[in-house]
């Protein structure tokens, strides 16, 4: 028997659009306090308030064993030397892992383990897969010149905990130093670098 009640879903790997799904936009003004160069942030916000990223989420069902997924699109650009990026979060249900798959564009995922603080920076380009273990903060960063498009697949019970990162941010920042994506400890970053 063919399960007609399960819809066929199509998406565009370049625009990140999922047919029939309205994305949620995160604008520059939603990211107050996330970028390290607050002067550059304020200067840009005085000019305009672009969409930094958007996420189209699909939540077919809730309960044990169920999965949700979302396609994220991060615009190309920088605030000062720091590339456009997501807020980043832990999962509210800490054991929940996630699989990211790059669809188009160029970028990275910054992972930070909660208990050890261990950081890992992994490329997220088309055809790259990144496994995010449980209890690991994750942020997606566009270092390219076109939108970075990716899909993230996670347990329906994962939830989002933005609080820890909103409070203290990641320990490192990914910045453009003379055209090179460079990971710098937050407390060693200087605006002139
Ligand atoms: C959800 C998953 C992604 C992010 C998206 C936006 O668990 O990790 O769909 O929600 O990349 O990032 P953020 O940090 O604003 O949720
Ligand atoms: Zn997540």
Domain at 170, CATH number:
2.60.120.10
Name the domain count of the chain: 1
Question: Can you list the positions of beta strands (E) in 1-159?
Answer: 24-27, 51-58, 67-74, 78-79, 82-83, 98-104, 107-113, 119-123, 129-132, 136-142, 148-155
Residue 18 lies in a domain: no
Question: Do 181 and 174 touch, CB atoms closer than 8 A?
Answer: yes
Q: Whose CA is nearest to atom 11 of ligand 1?
A: 72
> Given the structure tokens 């076109």, which residue do they identify?
146
Which ligand is closest in space to the CA of residue 134? 2
In a domain? residue 131: yes
- Please compute the mean of the pLDDT values over residues 134-155 and round it to a whole number: 98
Question: Is 86 among the domain residues?
Answer: yes
The tens digit of pLDDT for each residue in 7-64 reads: 899 999 999 999 999 999 999 999 999 999 999 999 999 999 999 999 999 999 999 9
Residue 1 resides in a domain: no
- CA dihedral of 50, 73, 85, 143, whole degrees rounded to 10: -100
Q: Which atom of ligand 1 is nearest to the CA of 162?
A: 14
Q: Quick check: CB of 68 below 6 Å from ligand 1?
A: no
For ligand 1, the distance from its centroid to the CA atom of residue 56, given in whole angstroms, is 10
CB 137 within 8 A of CB 89: yes
Range of the domain at 181: 24-188
């Amino acid at each position: 028997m063919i399960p007609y009640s399960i819809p066929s879903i199509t998406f565009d790997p370049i625009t990140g659009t999922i047919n029939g799904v309205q994305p949620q936009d995160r604008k520059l003004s939603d990211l107050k306090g996330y970028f390290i160069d607050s002067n550059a942030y304020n200067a840009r916000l005085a000019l305009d308030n672009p969409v930094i990223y958007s996420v189209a989420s699909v939540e077919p069902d809730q309960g044990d064993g169920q999965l949700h997924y979302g396609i994220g699109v991060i615009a190309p650009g920088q605030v000062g030397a720091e590339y456009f990026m997501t807020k980043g979060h832990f999962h509210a249900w800490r054991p929940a892992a996630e699989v990211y798959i790059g669809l188009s564009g160029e970028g990275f995922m910054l992972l930070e383990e909660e208990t050890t603080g261990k950081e890992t920076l992994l490329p997220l380009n088309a055809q790259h897969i990144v496994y995010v273990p449980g209890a690991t903060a994750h942020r997606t960063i566009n270092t390219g010149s076109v939108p970075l498009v990716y899909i993230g697949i996670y347990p329906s019970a994962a939830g989002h905990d933005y609080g820890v990162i909103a409070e203290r941010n990641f320990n490192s920042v990914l910045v453009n130093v003379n055209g090179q994506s460079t990971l710098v400890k937050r407390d060693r970053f200087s605006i002139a670098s």
